Amino acid sequence: MEALGDTETALSIETRLGQHSGRLFRDVSVDVVEGRVLLTGSVPTREDRLEAERIAWTAVGVRALANELTVAEDAGVVAYWRDVGISTSVRSALVLDSQVAARNINVETVERVVHLTGLARSTGELQRIVDHARATDGVERVVSHILLLDDPRRSLDDRRADAATTAVR
């Protein structure tokens, strides 16, 4: 049920960004995991960066927010497709690694910086995920917002649901 809530929160933020400015809607990517919002992308001004964060905080379901928006001129189509290629390569490496639950990880690349969000089952899995991203051609930096299943920043209900799901498998 948490995934539906996260999807609703992300859609709410995206809608609010679009209502404010078509440019913010286009330039800002929104990722939500258990109410923790990650904003990525590149906006032209510091004010745009702050406005996107302010708008995100107004959505229902936001428990925490990481604003990783960069302030820079539009890098262009070539840079966009380079970043898409990097994200695709990282996702592929995660899917091909049998020791990683790739479905639990989101990958977003902006200006060669890979942003990872999601949940890892162990510190070993987390390290494998980060290592795959670092080893990908073209990556300049990796920023991990991945939490472990037993991380105290997650609510007790989230951890209980994970334990129940794991027990069923």
Cα dihedral across residues 39, 3, 63, 119: positive or negative? negative
41: its two tokens: 């992308």
Average pLDDT, whole number, for the chain?
Answer: 89
pLDDT in tens, 136-168: 999 999 999 999 999 888 875 554 555 444 433
Q: Which parts of the chain fold into alpha helices (H)? A: 2-20, 22-27, 46-57, 77-96, 123-134, 156-168
